[in-house]
Structure 1
Amino acid sequence: MHAKSDSEVTSLDASSPPRSPRRPLYYVQSPSQNDVEKMSYGSSPLGSPHHYHSSPIHHSRESSTTRFSASLKNPRNVTAWKKIHREIEEGEDEDDVDASSKGSGEVARFYVICFVFSFVVLFTMFSLILWGASKPYKPKISIKSMVFESFNIQAGMDNSGVPTDMMSLNSTVKIWFRNPATFFGVHVTSTPLELYYYQLKLATGYMEKFYQSRKSQRMITVIVKGSQVPMYGGVSNVNGGKQDQTSLAVPLNLTFLVRSRAYVLGKLVKPKFYRSIRCAVTLHGSLLGKPLPLLHSCVYQ
């Protein structure tokens, strides 16, 4: 054989196409059952007789597969896996239950607040309606008559020992009371009935408290009297009556206040009615024991 010249070698190289570099070959071989067992117990792939090359992705998949298969082969690992899985499911269930119970609790609290607020508003409106409906039913009061049974003046002394004329008086007042309300009764009280001669108080009477049912009426009798009231010489008309009692004429004023209270809805709705009464009456010595009509002599406020 003769050696090729440089020109021949150059021509051959130029005529032949360039060859691509040879790629390395990879062989993937699935590990056998023995290899899996060795790997699960910590044996290195390099120590196994079957050495293979693979990419990192294949290696991670094989390692996870190996661990899972090893856990399936080991009964203890299977039990632990089931326990962990059950705890995870129970935790998720508890979270769902807590979230649902929290949401339902907030909704229930919202409904309770709305119910209480609505109840208070409706009850207040109902109470106001009852209170407004009870106002027109004001009790009716009138003084029918007054009778002076006795009147006496005699010399005496007051509590401090000062000599003066002392007066005693006894009278009876008849009061007509009516409750026109159709759906409630009233409890009635009164201030003392006082009989004055200008600023001098001559007699006092007390009306007992009572209850008047709906759409009913009654006649009330109150005794107004005074005993040993010192006059201090200030009443000339009364002093003149010591000699001739039949010619006695003393102008007097009867004043008192009547309070009526209705319990429409227990103690929550209890309208009150006040009536101030002032009557002008004249004591005549010649009319002792006779009723004096006071229908047109009283002022009601």
Structure 2
Amino acid sequence: MPLAIHAKSDSEVTSIDAASSPPRSPRRPLYYVQSPSNHDAEKMSYGSSPAGSPSHPYYHCSPIHHSRESSTSRFSASLKNANPRHLYGGAWRKLHRGQGTDDDDGDADEEDQEGGRGSSSPAWRGARLYACIVLLFFLLFTAFSLILWGASKSYRPEILVKNVVFESFNVQAGIDPSGVTTDMLTLNSTVRIVYRNPATFFGVHVTSSPLDLHYFQLHVASGQMKKFYQSRKSQRPVVTVVTGYQVPLYGGISALSMAREHREKVAVPLNLTFVMRSRAYILGKLVKSTFYRRIRCSVTLRGNQLGKRQKLTDFCTYH
């Protein structure tokens, strides 16, 4: 066998060498792989190759391998550079919130705060707007009420006691409730008053305390005025009956001791006192104004002027 190999000609050796060496072939086309998975990349790295490609030690330097490595490296780089929050969304945030990292917690708190402000901001603004409107309304209403109340004070009711008429009086002996014998006085009189409401925008409700006649500290007669309503810019006469029945004197009025025999000579000074109250409801019961007038008049009971009017316009004081 060795002799046969040495006996071969140069042409045969050349042909054998040519057969043993691989023939040169034209440049193979490039293969491009787009985003392979890890399993596919392992297959491609460890022996999977296109059909007809030789398996020699320098296969990793082929253009196909370079293209695969470059695509794999690009995919790995894209995974490294990509923001995990965009890739995984809510799962990433839940994972890192569970781990308790400071940066992610701060970002999550900021997002929650922003979301909370965004959701509660319209309601809070609406509540503040309503509160401001209510406060402004109360301020305006208070100012308007104060203006009306101040304006009403300049419209004080006008009260004038015109006259008094003593229709009758009588003094006779009697017994008081305790059984003491004394003189008893019976008196009948009428008081006329003119009441005027000068207000231009409100009416008044008028009441009065009892009209009392006194002889110093001795109370001899009394009468109650009826309450009434007086509209704006109007007036009316008010007539009140003041009477006293079987009033014990206990010798307090010495001037009346001669009343049985000489009634026309009787002259007893008396005081007429009362208080009138006028209440104006300017804005319902929310805004009201009250006026008080304390009146005191000097009256003389004369036996010779029974049934006649005694003018009191110049004998009364108003407080």
What TM-score do the two structures reach when normalised by structure 2?
A: 0.69
- 1:176 corresponds in structure 2 to 194
CA distance in 1, matches of 2:267, 2:260: 12
Q: Distance in 2 between matches of 1:164 and 1:30?
A: 146
Residue equivalent to 2:73: 58
Residues 62 and 272 from structure 1, CA distance in 2 versus in 1: closer, same or farther, beyond 3 angstroms? closer
| Partner residue, 1:38 | 39
Contiguous gaps of at least 5 residues in structure 1: 1-28, 66-80, 85-92
Deviation at 1:45, TM superposition (A): 6.7
The alignment yields a C-alpha RMSD, in angstroms, of 3.6
Q: Does 1:220 align with 2:221?
A: no
Gaps of 5+ in 2: 1-29, 49-59, 81-87, 92-110
**Residue matched to 2:47:** 49
SS in 1 for 2:285: coil
Percent sequence identity over aligned pairs: 51
Superposed displacement of residue 222, structure 1? 0.2
- What SS does structure 1 have at the residue aligned with 2:284? coil
Match of 2:317 in 1: 299
Whichever of the two has the greater Rg, that structure is: 2
1:133-185 Cα distance to aligned partner (Å, 9 max, x none): 11111111011110001101111111111111111101000000001111111
Q: Does 1:251 align with 2:269?
A: yes
- Classify the secondary structure of the residue corresponding to 2:283: coil
What letter is aligned with 2:179?
A: G
* Residues 1:199 and 2:217 are matched in the alignment: yes
Q: 1:30–1:129: structure 2 CA closer, same or farther, 3 Å change rule?
A: farther
Deviations 1:45-90 (A, max 9, x none): 79943598979x938717959xxxxxxxxxxxxxxx8998xxxxxx
2:281 matched to 1:263?
A: yes
Report SS of the residue matched to 1:233.
coil
Separation of aligned partners in 1, 2:77 and 2:157: 102
1:110: Cα distance to partner?
A: 1.8
**Other-structure match for 1:272:** 290
Q: What SS does structure 2 have at the residue aligned with 1:270?
A: strand
* Distance (Å, rounded) in 2 between the aligned partners of 1:190 and 1:47: 118
What secondary structure, in the 3-state scheme, does the structure 2 residue paired with 1:266 have? strand
Encode CA deviations 1:264-288: one digit per residue, 9 max, x unaligned: 1111221111111000010001111
SS of 1:223's equivalent in the other structure is strand
Give the superposition deviation at 1:103: 1.1
The whole-number CA distance in structure 2 between the counterparts of 1:36 and 1:128 is 85
Q: Which residue type is aligned with residue 224 of structure 1?
A: V
Alignment partner, residue 180 of structure 2: 162
Distance 1:208 1:48, change over 3 A: farther
Q: Deviations over 1:85-113 (max 9, x none)?
A: xxxxxxxx999775433111121122122
SS in 1 for 2:288: coil
Q: 1:181 to 1:62 in 2, by over 3 A?
A: closer
Q: TM-score, normalised by structure 1?
A: 0.73
- Listed as ranges, the matches of 1:105-184 within 5 Å are 105-184=123-202
The CA distance in 2 between the partners of 1:120 and 1:63, in whole Å, is 65
1:124 positional shift: 1.1
**Distance in 2 separating the partners of 1:279 and 1:60:** 115
Task: State the shift of 1:200 in Å.
Answer: 0.3
Give distance in 2, aligned partners of 1:123 and 1:30: 87
User: Per the alignment, in what secondary structure is the counterpart of residue 264 of structure 1?
Assistant: strand
- The residue type paired with residue 281 of structure 2 is Y
Letter of the 2:214 counterpart: Y
